[in-house]
Amino acid sequence: MQNNRKLILGSYFGFIVMGMIVISFGSTMPYIRESFNFNYELGGLILAIFSFSYLINGFLSGLLIDKLGHKRVLLMGNVGYVIGLVLIALSMNHVFFFIAVAVLGIGWGFYNTTGNVIMNDATKGDGKAMLLLHMSFGIGAFISPLIFGFLMKLGLTWRSFYLLLAVFSALSFAINLKLELPKLEDEEIKKTKLNQLNLKKIGLFMAILFFYVGVENGFSGWMTSYIKESTSIADTSAQSLLSVLWLTMIFGRLGIGFLGANLSKVFMVFMSSVMLILGMLVFIVSTTWLPILVSVIIIGFAMSGIYPLTLADANPYIKGSGLATALVISGGGMGASSIPYLSGKFADMWGTKAILVTITISTAILIFCTFFNWKISQIEANRQTNV
C-alpha cells in the first residue's frame, strides 16, 4: 500500500512537470517567433514537430513497455525531457531548434504513454484516479505561464524558462528512479496482437482523442498569440488568460470526479464536447476582456474531463496491453501534430481568425464522435441487460 501511494504521488508530480512542459509553447510562442523571425506557419510547425515526435514515440513506447518494462520507458521519457529542454535553451538557429523540439517530443511520447499505463493499471482504470492524474497535468499547465511571466519580469528570457524546466525534469527522473512499480497478475498482462483487439472500439477512442487533443493543443498553443495580435488586450493579460484556462480545468476535473458517481463517462464526454463548441463560438466573436474571460472559463470546464474519462472508458479494452494503450493514445498524438499546424498554415493564408475556425470545425467533428460512442455504449449496455 505504501509503495502504491509513493507511485501515485510520484506520478502526480511527473504529470505536473509534463503539464509545465507541454503548455510552455503557448506562453513562449510569441517570443520564439520573434527570436527566429518565424511566421504563423513556422510557429505551427513547432507544435507539429513536437506533437508528431510525441505521436511516433508514444506509439513506440507502447511496444517498448511490453519488451523493456514500464520503469525503463518512463525514465527514457525523463531523459528525453532534460536533453530536449537544454537543447531548446541553447539553440541558435532554426535547424538546431527544430531538432531540440523533436527530442523534447520524444520525452513527451515516452512519458505520457507510460505514465497513463502505470496509473491505469495500478488503479484498475479508476475514473477519479485518472482525473486526479490529469488534474496534476492541469496544475503544471496553470503555473507554467505564471512562472514564465515572473521570469520575464526579472529580465530573463524564454531560454531561462526552458533551463528551469530541465531542472524540474531532472528532479522527476530522480523520483521515478526510486519508485517500485506494482506487478500485474498473469491474467492482466496482455502482449496483444492486432487481431486480438476490438479495433472498432479502439478506433473510436483514437478518433475522440485525435480531435480532442488537437483542439486542446491548438487552442492552448495559439491562444496567447491570437489574443496578443487580434485584440487590444495586453500581453500580460493574455498570459493570465492561459493560466485561467488551466485553473478552470483543474476545478473542472475535481467537479467531474464527484459527478462521475451519478453520470456515465461516455455521456459526460459527449456533453463536455457540446459545451466546448459553445465556448469556442463565444471566443470567436469576442474582442474585449470580459467575454473572452467567460469563453475561456467555459472552454476550460469543457476540456477538463474529455481526455481522462475517455482513457478510463477505454480501460477494459487496453488494460495491461502496451500496444492497445499506444494505439489509443496515438490518436491524440496525430491530432496534436496536425490540427495546430493546419491552424497556423491557414492563419498565414486567411488571417488569425482561421486558427479558431479550424479548431471549431474540429470540435464539431469531436461532438459527432462522442455522440456515436455514447450511443454504442447504450446499445452494448442494453444487450448485456437482455442476456
Report the C-alpha gap between 299 and 36 in whole angstroms: 31
- pTM (predicted TM-score): 0.77
pLDDT at residue number 252: 86
Q: Which of 263, 250, 302 is nearest to 280 (CA)?
A: 302
User: Residue 351, SS3?
Assistant: coil
Question: Which amino acid is located at 47 in the chain?
Answer: L
Report the C-alpha gap between 182 and 173 in whole angstroms: 18
Radius of gyration, alpha carbons of the chain: 20
Please work out, in degrees rounded to the nearest 5, the angle formed at the alpha carbon of residue 84 by the alpha carbons of 220 and 11.
Answer: 70
Q: Scan for cell 507554467, then name that residue.
A: 144
Domains in the chain, CATH or no CATH each: 2-178+196-386 (1.20.1250.20)
For residue 308, give Cα distances in angstroms to 80, 316, 355.
24, 14, 26
Q: What is the DSSP letter of 181?
A: P
Please report the beta strands in 32-137, taking only residues with DSSP state E, as ranges in sequence order: none
pLDDT in tens, 137-192: 889 988 998 899 899 989 999 999 999 999 999 999 999 998 877 665 444 444 54
| Structural contact between residues 138 and 249, judged by C-beta atoms closer than 8 angstroms | yes
Cell matching residue 128: 477519479
pLDDT in tens, 79-123: 999 999 999 999 999 999 999 999 999 999 899 888 887 887 777
For residue 359, give Cα distances in angstroms to 80, 128, 142, 288, 380.
29, 28, 21, 20, 32
